[in-house]
Amino acid sequence: MKIRMKTRLRSGWLILTFILLICFNVKAQKQMTNISGDLIVFHAGSLSVPMKEISAEFSKIYPKVKILSESAGSVASARKITDLHRPCDIMASADYSVIDKMLIPKYADWNIKFASNEMAIVYTGKSRYADKINPQNWYETLMKSDVDYGRADPNSDPCGYRTVMMLHLAEKFYKKPGLAKNIMGKDQEFNRPKEVDLLALLESESIDYIFIYRSVAIQHNLKYIVLPDQVNLKNPAYASLYATAKVEINGSKPGEKQLMTGEPMIYGVTILKDAPNKAAAEAFVAFMLSKNQGMKILERDGQPSVIPMPVQNFDKLPAILKPFVTKK
């Protein structure tokens, strides 16, 4: 009799637990579908392709959220917040230090490092000397009088100042004094505010080569030269070497300068303190950082995950984002 009673009680608890789980899931689903409104995302140009794909997948789960995505150089994106005081929910930078230096602590509390990349020299099959350029002679090819190349503006985009850093590192690696100065002094009319602006010039055959992220080449099915790790700003093992390359860019105030120091290439993302739609922003960033959702798209597009990494102000992170970081 006691055994039957225990069995019935156990069965009753199982049924009750099952019912509670169903109720919890229904409630969670309601909360999920209730997230709505505009979601403003400022992001680096090199995130344009994956962000479009991530947004499309996110919208299948959160159909009431309208994603308003703006691509620009990461520095320029940050200045939309600091100088123009434009409303923004999420800022995703090609250089995590842009968020650290320009947005924290006034505009944001934390910064999650989420992906990596590397510098490359990108071209098409129609570029001059496309059949001859290689990792040993690329700088000689770019200096030819009949070759034009483009690079991003260091004052607008991390790709721009990373290009300058890369050239200084290349000067040391190849033992070619003056290499950086000579290349930067050539074809200055093809400098552009952000790296993706250069793609139109390349694809229209207005120029032959561009300095850009390897991920952009992969996303657009372009040819590229893989540079040595001592030059490409990819490998953490060379962090101390990268730190010897420094570039001054315009600061947030007229006449102010900001020193950028070379380091392994890592992207960062944050939600602004005064984000108009924090609920949607938290859901989007969680989706973007999830291994089988947004991060799967980023890795496919040539931007490998670095999750989890230490984060400052761990206690200020939304609970939903804490699984993607470690406490500093």
Residue 53, sorted as left (phi over 0), alpha (psi -120 to 50) or beta, turns out to be alpha
One of 1.10.645.10, 1.10.3720.10, 3.40.190.10, 3.90.1150.10 is the CATH number of 119-250, namely 3.40.190.10
Exposed/middle/buried for 314, CB within 10 Å: 0-12, 13-18, 19+?
middle
pLDDT in tens, 81-139: 999 999 999 999 999 999 999 999 999 999 999 999 999 999 999 999 999 999 999 99
Q: Do domains 35-116+266-327 and 119-250 have the same CATH topology?
A: yes
3-state secondary structure of 318: coil
Question: What is the Cα 285 distance to its own chain's centre?
Answer: 13
Distance CA 182, CA 325 (A): 42
The strand pairing partners of 44, in sequence order, are 72
Query: Shortest CA distance to 161 belongs to which of 256, 229, 73, 239?
Result: 73
- The answer to whether 131 and 225 have CB atoms below 8 angstroms apart is no
Sorted by where each begins, the domain ranges of the chain are 35-116+266-327, 119-250
The strand pairing partners of 246, in sequence order, are 261
Q: What is the mean pLDDT of the chain?
A: 89
Q: What DSSP element (H or E) covers 7? A: helix 2-34
Q: Taking the CA atoms of the chain, what radius of gyration do you get in angstroms?
A: 24
CATH number of 35-116+266-327: 3.40.190.10
Cβ contacts of 51 within 8 Å, gap of 6 or more: 41, 43, 69, 71, 92
- The answer to whether 113 and 226 have CB atoms below 8 angstroms apart is no
The neighbour count for residue 173, using CB atoms within 10 Å, is: 16
3-state secondary structure of 213: strand
Tokens of 241: 């070497």
Show pLDDT as tens, one digit a residue, over the chain (328 residues).
444 444 454 455 445 444 444 443 334 444 555 899 999 999 998 899 999 999 999 999 999 999 999 998 888 899 999 999 999 999 999 999 999 999 999 999 999 999 999 999 999 999 999 999 999 999 999 999 999 999 999 998 889 999 999 999 999 999 999 999 999 999 999 999 877 789 999 999 999 999 999 999 999 999 999 999 999 999 999 999 999 999 998 876 677 788 999 999 999 999 999 999 999 999 999 999 999 999 999 999 999 999 999 999 999 999 999 999 998 7
